Amino acid sequence: MTSPIPLLEPPSQKRPQILQLYQDLELFSEGMPARNSLFVLGHSVDGAGRARDHLLIIDPPADAPERFRLEEEVAVLYTGERPRAALPQVELRAGGVAHLRVGDHFLDVYVQKAGVIAYMPAVGVLLSGDYASDALPPRIVAGSDGSDELETLRLLARLIKQENFQLCVPHVGATMKEKPQVMARLAADVAYLHGLRRVVPGLLARGEPLETIERIAESLLPEDRNSEAAQVVHAANLSTLTGIEDADVRL
């Protein structure tokens, strides 16, 4: 089977991992922890009888135009706030469910306030975005108090419980096939968000400065998600919940 990822030879960096999940469906992962992108390739014939290729990239690297030979029709879709690549984006309507077809692959795209979830029911592949990661806590979007993220986690749980679920792909972190382990990740996300919602409002009502809130809320990060990158997301979440800008937060 031919890989749909037209990767240009990197000059000096470590080569990424490319895993073929199904025909015309490949997972591109690089870095530690891994940052995952999904490539979905489709084929069609136009009115003149010419073969045409179509490529959808979910969560592509920001430098995708420089790293890949993109000769076919290309569109990108993001599951959350990411550095954007200079490529056409799929237009999505907030609060709805979009049904996309790329070649033989069908995608259900759920556009939530707290991110985008993409599910391929025929093959059971779930793109969970900023959730179900073993490396980072869930990211709270601007204007949310954590309830929007909890609603998205409930959606993910419903999709994972479906009989044909096969693989969960977070934007950052290891992929996971086993349902109990994926549900455990979701439970850790829920516990983290509930902890923030329980602790932060009371500290804020007492007029505590952000430094104090950060110190008290530090224990809310799961022990296995306490890396520097996880702490950056955690600090950004606290800034979102408190409305207090942290000059040290860099996403």
pLDDT at site 4: 59
Paired tokens of 212: 């104090």
CATH of domain 17-242: 3.60.15.10
Sequence spans of domains, the chain: 17-242
pTM for this one? 0.89
Asked if 104 contacts 120 with a C-beta cutoff of 8 angstroms, the reply is: no
Residue 185: count of CB within 10 angstroms of its CB: 25
Paired tokens of 166: 């096969």
- Per-residue model confidence as pLDDT tens for the chain (251 residues): 456 566 665 544 567 899 999 999 999 999 999 999 999 999 877 777 777 889 999 999 999 988 888 877 899 999 999 889 999 999 898 888 999 999 999 999 999 999 999 999 999 999 999 999 999 999 999 999 999 999 999 999 999 999 999 999 999 999 999 999 999 999 999 999 999 999 998 888 888 888 888 888 888 998 888 899 999 999 999 999 988 876 454 44
Cα 156 to chain centroid, rounded: 12
